Amino acid sequence: MAGTLLTEGTVTVEGQSLFYREARPQQAPRLNVLLLHGIRFSSDTWLQLRTLALLADAGHRAVAIDLPGLGRSKDAAAPAPVGQPAPGSFLKAVVEALGLAPAVLVSPSLSGMYSLPFLLQHGHLLKAYVPVAPICTEKFEAEQYARVETPTLIVYGDQDADLGQVSLNNLRHLARHQVLVLQGAGHACYLDKPEEWHRGLLAFLQQLE
């Protein structure tokens, strides 16, 4: 991680303590990237995969949080039952507490219950959205998606026969979207094809600058 600084800490959001990891470039960051995670994962996933390091090496500030009840935020209570959309105010509070606005939001799987309400209610706080086969896409109408102007990179693995296709079918109504399909990859496609994942993510971020 030459030229980058990796730290960890906690941030208080709606009265609860959430753990996070952060990688910063030495210079002023080009973009702020907030990484969420799936139910079997945590911020440690992005550390081990080197996503945090690669984003910082590319000049971006990258922050990965542990969602409530998971990872090292396990003592925090989730604001909604798993699989139900959480209040959009939750991620708004996270973004504001960490000083990330406008943020690029990376949201795999379970974290869709947090990111989708936030996108639809507080899209002005987002520079871009990178959903990776998120849950809860069917909870919203095509018309709601169509009103969103946030640039979006829809990512899924072609072997993810369940959530990959469902999420694509719903998210394709977003007005400004691109699609990245990782060939030979399953649901956690970034783990199956990390090089393709990082290449696609960094290329998308370059378009935003």
pLDDT digits (tens, 9 = 90+) for 152-205: 999 999 999 889 999 999 999 999 999 999 999 999 999 999 999 999 999 999
Question: Across the beta sheet with 4-13, what order do the strands follow?
Answer: 4-13, 16-25, 61-65, 32-35, 103-108, 126-132, 152-157, 177-182
CATH architecture group of domain 5-207:
3-Layer(aba) Sandwich (3.40)
Query: pLDDT by residue (tens digit) across 73-92?
Result: 999 999 999 999 999 999 99
Tokens read off for 209: 């600058």
- CB atoms inside a 10 Å sphere around CB 208: 13
Active site (catalytic) residues: 109, 160, 187
Q: Where are the domains of the chain?
A: 5-207
Q: Structure pTM? A: 0.97
- CB atoms inside a 10 Å sphere around CB 51: 23
